[in-house]
């Protein structure tokens, strides 16, 4: 290959280096950083080694995460009591659940809980993130610690605290209402208040992952846009609706999806506080799945309910991701 005029090859450079006098200073050899060595190793065919190193983690994830999920999806097509051999049942268990007398009630209850949880999360946690973002630095730091620390509490502790607060006639809430000469409702025993009581757990609903997501998004908004809005005379309320919310659509999308999935999956408060009652006032598909599998030994029927829940959450996720896409232009 013809070299360009003035270009030097590695051989010419080596010859020039060797022709230097013995007492001439030699160029200092720099140590190659470890990161560069790793990148060179990747380019020279050492990727199989990394694959071998990742294999144990991938096996554990497959065994304890993916296998149970796939096994549950397949198990819905088999009638199984946990002891005898499974027998193929086709779609009969899915049909049995959809045509059951409690199906409509369960769908209505889970829709109310999911919609309420998403609305509560968006309003309370976004508002808290806005307030903390625009507080003085020292006050904002203290507020972040105060609002984030309750996240580490076990959910069972929170449920037990609210069970005491909303205990009929003896709980703190009813005692305060009684002192004010107001009616003292039986929160978890009233069919019309039971679902609302479940939603009240965690009030004011700030200490959650959504608060951190919104807070991180607000703290990373482009400073140029905020400065331009301030120059144009945009007030705090208008800034929230014209700048903050449109720029935080990706964060809203994540929070909506996570809140919806969590509301559908989390039947633990209902199990501990009402067990689906009074009557079927708080019965949801997740609780029905648990009771069918672990109390009635109808594991195939429970997995069929779980498969329908998975499909419902998948559709909800796809719709939410599409509806909350960032719009440009």
Summarize pLDDT for 32-48 with one digit per residue, the tens: 566 666 666 656 556 67
Residues 302 and 290: beta-carbon distance below 8 Å: yes
What is the per-residue pLDDT across 227-261, written as a single tens digit (0 to 9) for each? Answer: 888 888 888 888 888 888 888 999 999 999 999 99
For the cut 80, the answer to whether the pLDDT of residue 25 exceeds it is no
pTM surpassing 0.75? yes
Rounded distance between C-alpha atoms, residue 146 and residue 149, angstroms: 6
Rounded distance between C-alpha atoms, residue 6 and residue 12, angstroms: 12
Which span out of 151-160, 194-203, 229-238, 308-317 was modeled with the highest average pLDDT? 308-317
Give 82-86's long-range contacts (Cβ < 8 A, gap of 24+): 82/297, 82/299, 83/297, 86/300
For the cut 80, the answer to whether the pLDDT of residue 167 exceeds it is yes
Rounded distance between C-alpha atoms, residue 255 and residue 213, angstroms: 8
| Three-class DSSP category at 58 | helix
| Residue reference for tokens 């909506």 | 256
Count of H-run helices and E-run strands, the chain: 19, 2
Residues 151 and 208: beta-carbon distance below 8 Å: yes
Tell me the CATH number for domain 95-323. Answer: 1.10.3720.10
Rounded distance between C-alpha atoms, residue 321 and residue 78, angstroms: 33
Domain boundaries of the chain, sorted by first residue: 34-75, 95-323
Residues 94 and 318: beta-carbon distance below 8 Å: no
Q: Which of 81, 98, 110 is nearest to 276 (CA)?
A: 110
Give the tokens for residue 60: 């554990």
How confident is the model over 267-279, as a mean pLDDT? 90
For the cut 90, the answer to whether the pLDDT of residue 19 exceeds it is no
The pLDDT value recorded for residue 287 is: 94
What phi-psi label fits residue 325: left (phi over 0), alpha (psi between -120 and 50 degrees) or beta? beta
Higher pLDDT, 245 or 6: 245
Residue 238 has a CB neighbour count (10 Å cut-off) of 12
How confident is the model over 11-17, as a mean pLDDT? 53
């Amino acid at each position: 290959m013809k070299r360009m005029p003035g270009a030097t090859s590695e051989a010419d450079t080596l010859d020039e280096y060797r022709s230097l006098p013995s007492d001439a200073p030699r160029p200092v050899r720099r140590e190659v950083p470890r990161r560069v060595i790793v990148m060179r190793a990747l380019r020279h065919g050492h990727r199989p080694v990394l694959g071998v190193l990742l294999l144990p983690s991938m096996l554990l994830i497959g065994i304890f995460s993916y296998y149970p999920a796939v096994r549950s999806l397949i198990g819905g097509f088999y009638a199984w009591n946990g002891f005898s051999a499974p027998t193929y049942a086709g779609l009969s268990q899915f049909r049995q659940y959809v045509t059951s007398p409690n199906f409509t009630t369960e769908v209505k209850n889970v829709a109310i809980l999911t919609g309420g949880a998403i609305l509560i999360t968006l309003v309370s946690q976004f508002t808290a993130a806005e307030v903390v973002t625009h507080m003085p630095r020292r006050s904002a730091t203290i507020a972040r610690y105060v609002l984030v620390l309750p996240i580490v509490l076990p959910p069972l502790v929170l449920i037990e605290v609210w069970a005491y607060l909303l205990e009929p006639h003896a709980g703190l809430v009813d005692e305060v209402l009684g002192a004010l000469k107001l009616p003292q409702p039986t929160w978890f025993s009233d069919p019309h208040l039971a679902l609302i009581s479940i939603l009240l757990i965690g009030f004011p609903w700030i200490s959650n992952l959504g608060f951190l997501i919104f807070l991180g998004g607000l703290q990373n908004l482009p400073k140029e846009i905020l400065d331009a809005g301030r120059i144009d005379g945009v007030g705090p309320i208008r800034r929230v609706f014209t700048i903050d919310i449109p720029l935080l659509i990706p964060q809203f999308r994540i929070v909506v999806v996570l809140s919806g999935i969590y509301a559908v999956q989390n039947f633990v408060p209902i199990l501990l506080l009402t067990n689906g009652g009074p009557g079927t006032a708080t019965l949801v598909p997740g609780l029905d799945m648990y009771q069918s599998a672990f109390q009635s030994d109808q594991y195939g029927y429970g997995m069929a309910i779980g498969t329908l829940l998975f499909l419902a959450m998948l559709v909800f996720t796809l719709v939410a991701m599409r509806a909350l896409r960032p719009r440009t232009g």
